[in-house]
Amino acid sequence: MRGFIVKSSTWGDEVCRVGMEGEYSIGINFNVSRLGETYWGLGGFKMPEKHHWTWKGGSLRVGDVVEVEFADFKEATPPVAVELDTCSSVNNDKMDPEMVQVLLEEYESLKRLLEQAGIMGKDI
């Protein structure tokens, strides 16, 4: 399979092979927020299952090194998380009750984070 072989100074000697079989997309994101927070992550989207796969990542500090090689390999590192995509499953006519529950739990979790950060009041 084709994918990325990733090494990071934050992992020690560990190597992560990011890839999957079948219909998919994978990517590496590096972010610096307007508040100066820096983070990165390895992920992908698997079709037709509509699952988000997450491998490794984390915070970055000045001096950290991330090496990426595009390669063919036989076996990928297992992802640390596989989650159902909640966005692509929304249907205007009818929503699966399980999906409604997933979306509600996601909303409640994000709302708690915003309340704890003082960004959103509890009355909303």
Q: Structure pTM?
A: 0.64
Q: Which residues contact 123 (CB under 8 A, 6 or more apart)?
A: none
Tens-place pLDDT, residues 30-41: 999 888 889 999
Which pLDDT score is estimated for 33? 87
Q: Which of 70-79, 103-112, 113-122 has the lowest mean pLDDT?
A: 113-122
Tens-place pLDDT, residues 29-84: 999 988 888 999 999 998 888 888 899 888 899 999 999 999 999 999 999 988 88
Choice between 98 and 8, residue whose per-residue pLDDT is larger: 8
Which pLDDT score is estimated for 7? 94
